[in-house]
A and B are shown apart, each in its own frame.
Chain A
Amino acid sequence: EVQILETGGGLVKPGGSLRLSCATSGFNFNDYFMHWVRQAPGNGLEWVAEVRNKNNNYATYYAASVKGRFTISRDDSKSSVYLQVSSLRAEDTAIYYCTRGQPGAWFAYWGQGTLVTVSS
Chain B
Amino acid sequence: DVVLTQTPVAQPVTLGDQASISCRSSQSLVHSNGNTYLEWYLQKPGQSPQLLIFKVSNRFSGVPDRFIGSGSGSDFTLKISRVEPEDLGVYYCFQATHDPLTFGSGTKLEIK
Q: How far is the CB of A62 from chain B (nearest CB, A)?
A: 8
Residues of A close to B43: CB separation below 8 A = 45
A105: contacting residue among B48, B60, B103, CB under 8 A: B60
Contacts A64-B100, A110-B48 given; 18 further ones with Cβ under 8 A?
A: A44-B105, A45-B43, A45-B49, A45-B92, A45-B103, A46-B103, A50-B101, A97-B48, A104-B37, A104-B58, A105-B51, A105-B54, A105-B60, A106-B37, A106-B94, A108-B60, A110-B50, A112-B48
**Complex A-B, nearest 7 residue pairs according to Cβ-Cβ distance, in ascending order:** A105-B54, A110-B48, A47-B101, A45-B103, A106-B96, A44-B106, A108-B51
Number of B interface residues in the complex (CB < 8 A): 25
From the candidates A46, A50, A106, A111, name the one contacting B48 in the complex (CB within 8 A): A111
Number of A-B contacts defined by CB within 8 Å: 57
Task: Indicate the size class of the contact surface on chain A.
Answer: 10 to 19
* Chain B positions within 8 Å of A112 at CB level: 48
